[in-house]
Amino acid sequence: MRSHSRTGWLALFCGMLFFCALGCGGGKPTAVRGTVKMDGAPLADATVQLVPDGNNTLGIHTTKTDGSGNFRFAEKGSSNNPIQPGNYVLLVSKQQAPASGAAASTAMGGLVEVVPGVYTSQATSPLKVEIKDANVDLPPFELKSMP
């Protein structure tokens, strides 16, 4: 009876080791790159999100733009939330201090949203992308301050 118990524990340990190795590494790294401009000018320091369009198992990915409006979603091969092939909606937002004399909302700590709401909502964003490969250069995204 005792050897049967050891065999069970050994099988359980081997199974756990197998699933850990499967989920813990060696995956293909992914990089999705692009540029965001608003009214022709680079949109610096904006938050950019890839949100699944219909398949919530794809996960949400978030990054920031640099001073030239460039962004990059980079996932290591061992990421728990790698960017998977599929259809996504791109959301863009940027908060900043209001111009002097302008009213600020206290909901965002006195900051105002610079990007029109159409680009910040999954329901209304016209920015759709299809990820087919692990490394993708997206076409530039041109936002309008008055869409």
Three-state SS letters, the chain: CHHHHHHHHHHHHHHHHHHHHHHCCCCCCEEEEEEEEECCEECCCCEEEEEECCCHHHCCEEEECCCCCEEEEEECCCCCCCCCCEEEEEEEECEECCCCCCCCCCCCCCCEECCCHHHCCCCCCCCEEEECCCEEECCCEEECCCC
Q: Is the model's pLDDT at 93 over the cut of 50? A: yes
Q: For residue 2, is it within any domain?
A: no
Number of domains into which the chain is organized: 1
55 or 66, greater pLDDT:
66
Q: For residue 22, is it within any domain?
A: no
Q: For residue 9, is it within any domain?
A: no
pTM, two decimal places: 0.74
Q: For residue 8, is it within any domain?
A: no
109 or 15, greater pLDDT:
109
